[in-house]
Amino acid sequence: MKLLILNGPNLNLLGIREPDVYGTQDYSYLCQLITAHAAAIGVEVEIRQSNHEGVLVDWIQQARGRFDGIVLNPAAYTHSSVALLDAVKAVGLPTVEVHISDPDQREPFRRVSYVRAACLASICGHGLQGYLEAMELLKKNLILQSRSEL
């Protein structure tokens, strides 16, 4: 079981950007946390980050046939990108939306999520732990899916 963990703009600046909102741990800590959890629950992961919408679209498209599911934190593109929504719909891979903060409790412009419509679930406001929860949810979902295909 292989999961693609995709992070959008400015998440490479974790630990530096608004620590009161996103915490003090940096992006490499997040990657280590995800990698350790993947090993613990027995899934393979590839973790990527881009500040560019089109690159994220390319990576989602390329995930088809190579990954079993996607954990997606589209960051600011959550609130603007129909292209990311369309990409997730197009590949049809089970996808879980993750946000470190809870956008619904912040500025009104963060209350819209375009990708949400194509996601299995959204995990918001659980900090970095949210990524781990998303991986577990995808694992459970993929196991259930493979059983129902037997």
CB of 76 to ligand DQA, least distance (A): 4
CA distance 41 to 86: 30
CB of 79 to ligand DQA, least distance (A): 6
Spatial strand order of the sheet with 69-73 comes to 44-49, 2-7, 69-73, 95-99, 121-124
Token pair belonging to 125: 């406001």
Nearest CA to 56 among 78, 34, 40?
78
CA distance 142 to 140: 6
Residue 126 binds to ligand DQA (criterion: CB under 6 A): no
**Residues from 65 through 94 that contact ligand DQA (CB under 6 A):** 73, 75-76, 78
Token pair belonging to 88: 């997730």
Look-up of token digits 């037997």: 150
Our CB check for ligand DQA shows the closer of 95 and 101 to be 101
Our CB check for ligand DQA shows the closer of 3 and 49 to be 49
Confirm whether 99 is a catalytic residue: yes
**Per-residue binder mask for ligand DQA (CB under 6 A), 7-36, x = binder:** ---x--------------------------
Nearest CA to 5 among 142, 147, 144, 133?
133
Residue 99 binds to ligand DQA (criterion: CB under 6 A): yes
Confirm whether 126 is a catalytic residue: no
Residue 47 binds to ligand DQA (criterion: CB under 6 A): no
Instruction: Point out which residues bind ligand DQA (CB under 6 A).
Output: 10, 73, 75-76, 78, 99-101, 103, 110
